Amino acid sequence: MQTTTGKIINQLRLDNRIEQLSCIGQIVETGVCRLALTPEDMEGIIQVRLWMEEAGLVTWLDPFGNLIGRLEGTDSSLPIVMIGSHIDSQPYGGRYDGAIGVLGALEAVQCLMEQGIRPRMPIEVIAFCDEEGSRFNKGLFGSRGITGQLEEGELERKDKNGVTRREALEAFGCAPEQFAEAIYPAGSIGSYLELHIEQGPVLESLAAPLGLVTGISGPLWLTVTMKGMAGHAGSVPMGMRHDALVGSAKVIAAFDDMVREEPEAPTVGTVGSLSVFPDSRNIIPEQVSFTVDLRDMEMERRNRLEGRLMNLLDDISSEYGLTYSLTEDTNSEPRYCAERIKNAIRSSAEEIGLPLPELMSGPFHDALALSYVCDYGMIFVRSKDGVSHHPSEYSSPEDIALGTEVLYRTIRQMCSPEIASNGTDM
């Protein structure tokens, strides 16, 4: 690849930090388990905070569990440029998901400082708490927290060991009673930027190291509980059973078929977690709970599929003599990236001779929560084989460095006095 301008970021420093962070919570040679608000998560925060402070940022851990590093601008009254992602992981996750967004942001801002560039507005590098949602079954906690989007009852959500989120936060040194003062005032965040691995196969299929994100599909998360009647597996005739697992299996299989009906559509649907009670070989299952994850860029189609799922639950429950209940864990419409930020990212890539294909994001990110309070933009880094949320997740050091270089140049462009003079219209 021919570049028009030399690379600024320190790739060796970035590589070393990614490698060091991946050793915290390591489960296999390449895998990571750093669940939110655990000792492993805290160890990661301590390490990243040390790097932030070595770079010259002022740091703090807020009541939501977010780690924040701030670089003051020449005009502290201007809205903040916020950059970051998360360092918590899935239980059987990889070393790049979230982590490169935090460490890439730190590297980009550190390079600004080393180049003697003082931004006009403040810049905050942030590692959001519990983006993944794998421990308490609801993600984007820290990013929803600072933007005032938390819902009733979130602190009482329990993990699989019965620990509530409130208890986990307090053990982490955070004070939920201080949430209100940690919410950012309306208009105080001007822009949000996030560097992230693609977690899909599109960029690799295009032989492109980076991509420009156009938007994030709207996720709907449900938890469905189907109830029947337990009985001895050897004595209750098949025609007299109220088997919650069979009914759930019928719903799950039919749901998967529904989502596949339009192969060209970006719709995706997943049942990723299932629990059975009493969970015994020779007892007819009485109760089954399972999660539903439905995402689409077109709300009309997603709503239509949701309605069909509700009809399906009614029909299957009636057929098998079951009852069901459901809870809505997450519901968001698609959110589109700001044109001005996309233009800044695109022109920054052009500086190094790199064309950027455009693609939407099926997974949601902290950017989704930030999109409700400010303009946002995202840069995707190519993922080998499209694999993520797995120890084999891999993005090359060269691709990550390219993404960080484009991020650095985008920040530099957005923070220049000529562009920044209009405050929020950076």
Cross-strand pairs, 71: 123
Burial class (CB in 10 A: 0-12, 13-18, 19+), 355: exposed
Q: Please, which pLDDT band fits residue 74 given cuts at 50, 70 and 90?
A: very high
pLDDT of 418: 45
Rounded CA Rg of the chain: 23
Type of residue at 117: I
pLDDT at 363: 86
In this predicted structure, the answer to whether residue 87 has a pLDDT above a threshold of 80 is yes
Tens-digit pLDDT profile for residues 119-132: 999 999 999 999 99
Contact 409, 117 (CB under 8 A): no
Closest CA to 345 of 407, 276, 281, 267: 407
pLDDT for 212 beyond 80: yes
Going from the C-alpha of 177 to that of each of 70, 147, 151, 159, the distances in angstroms are 24, 16, 15, 21
pLDDT digits (tens, 9 = 90+) for 109-163: 999 999 999 999 999 999 999 999 999 989 999 999 999 999 999 999 999 999 9
DSSP states of 202-256 = HHHHTT-SEEEEEEEPEEEEEEEEEE-B--BTTTS-GGG-B-HHHHHHHHHHHHH
Is pLDDT of 420 > 60? no
Beta-carbon neighbour count of residue 319 at 10 Å? 11
**pLDDT bracket for residue 4 (50, 70, 90):** very low
**C-alpha–C-alpha distance, residues 262 and 114, integer Å:** 51
Task: Judge whether 203 and 400 are in contact, CB under 8 Å.
Answer: no
The answer on pLDDT for 396 being more than 50 is yes
The pLDDT value given to residue 417: 58
Please report the domains of the chain, with CATH numbers, ordered by start residue: 11-217+334-420 (3.40.630.10), 219-331 (3.30.70.360)
Q: Where are the beta strands (DSSP E) in 12-108?
A: 58-61, 67-71, 80-86
Contact 313, 252 (CB under 8 A): no
Answer whether residue 422 shows pLDDT above 60: no
Structure tokens given for 153: 């009852």
Query: CB–CB of 199/360 below 8 Å?
Result: no
Confidence label for 1 from pLDDT (cuts 50, 70 and 90)? very low
The torsion of the CA quartet 242, 261, 294, 366, rounded to 10 degrees, works out to 160
Task: Compute CA distances 353 → 2, 7, 143, 339, whole Å.
Answer: 6, 12, 33, 21
Mean confidence (pLDDT) of the chain:
94
Residue 16: Cβ within 10 Å count? 12
310-336: per-residue pLDDT in tens? 999 999 999 999 999 999 988 988 899
Residues 6 or more apart in contact with residue 169 via CB below 8 angstroms? 37, 63, 64, 65, 155, 175, 176
- Which element (helix H / strand E) includes 360? strand 358-361
Predicted confidence band of residue 266 (pLDDT cuts 50, 70, 90): confident
Report how far apart, in Å, the C-alpha atoms of 194 and of each of 168, 307, 373 are. 27, 33, 15
Distance, in Å, from the CA atom of 294 to the CA atom of 219, rounded to the nearest integer, reads 6
Q: Which residue has the higher pLDDT, 333 or 426?
A: 333
Q: Report the alpha-carbon distance of residue 78 to residue 156 in Å, rounded.
A: 36
Which residues have C-beta within 8 Å of that of residue 118, sequence separation ≥ 6? 73, 74
Q: What pLDDT is recorded for position 419?
A: 40
68 pLDDT band, cuts 50/70/90, is: very high
Other Cβ atoms less than 10 A from the Cβ of 348: the count is 22
d(CA 221, CA 331): 6
Residue 5's pLDDT is: 56
As a residue count, the chain comes to 426
Are 11 and 19 within 8 A, CB to CB?
Answer: no
Name the nearest CA neighbour of 67 among 111, 112, 131. Answer: 131
Q: What's the pLDDT at 6?
A: 75
Question: Percentage of residues in the chain with pLDDT exceeding 70?
Answer: 96
**φ, ψ of residue 239 in degrees (nearest 5):** -75, -10
